[in-house]
Amino acid sequence: MNRILLAALSATVAAAAMTFGARDAAAQRRITPFVGGGLATGTGDLAENTESGWLAFAGVDLPLGFNPGLTFGVTASYARVPYKGGFDEFTGVPALFGELGYVLGAESSRIVKPYLRAGAGVQLRKYDPGTTGFREQSDGGLAFSVGGGLQFAFAPASVFLGARFVSDADAGVLGFNGGLAFPVHGRGTKR
């Protein structure tokens, strides 16, 4: 598990270094931190006897200078999916992904723009038995993410609404979410 996390972090640092090293128009350089959250439901093995829960995520996107609207980013998330019944048992799903994102019509003056995201990383499923008397369990491994939605461009932040699916081979989380993105101008850019 530690080797997988180290490989994912190394790939993230390498991609970020390539992004900052590329020479393109300074006006295209925008680092974009984002945060969000919403409703989550389990999928696959995690869909059995569970109810809707919640998810929260945060990350940062860095532009890839050769195509407006194309970004590389890192997203950390946590989902909590409760089980049916009165025992307060749930599965928590922390995850870390490297993702490519694309905003369609990024250079247009439209306020509403569709976006897509996809990537790979790691997720850990941690079962908390609540008051059932069962023992805690955890399982994790490589996973993928895919998502999309609409971005509403306002100054100084953008609002986004969308859906996000993360899963390994056995189980995952489908989230319907909203959030805020805060573009930060890089060096040499004009506001």
pLDDT score recorded for residue 154: 86
- For 55, other C-beta atoms within 10 Å of its C-beta total 24
Q: Which of 113, 107, 96 is nearest to 160 (CA)?
A: 113
Q: Which of 156, 172, 19 is nearest to 101 (CA)?
A: 19
pLDDT score recorded for residue 28: 47
Percent of the chain having pLDDT more than 90?
A: 63
pTM summary value: 0.79
Sign of the Cα torsion 106, 108, 110, 114 reads: negative
Whether 186 has a pLDDT exceeding 70, the answer reads: no
pLDDT score recorded for residue 22: 43
Q: Token digits for 105?
A: 């019509």
Q: What is the pLDDT of residues 16-64, one digit of tens each?
A: 444 444 444 444 457 899 999 999 999 999 999 999 999 999 999 999 9
Reported confidence tier of residue 169, pLDDT bands at 50, 70, 90: confident
pLDDT score recorded for residue 135: 87
**Average confidence score pLDDT of the chain:** 84
Q: What is the pLDDT of residues 53-110, one digit of tens each?
A: 999 999 999 999 888 889 999 999 999 999 998 899 999 999 999 999 999 998 888 9
Average pLDDT over residues 152-175: 92
Taking the domain 2-185, which CATH number applies? 2.40.160.20
In angstroms, how far is CA 67 from the centroid of its own chain?
21
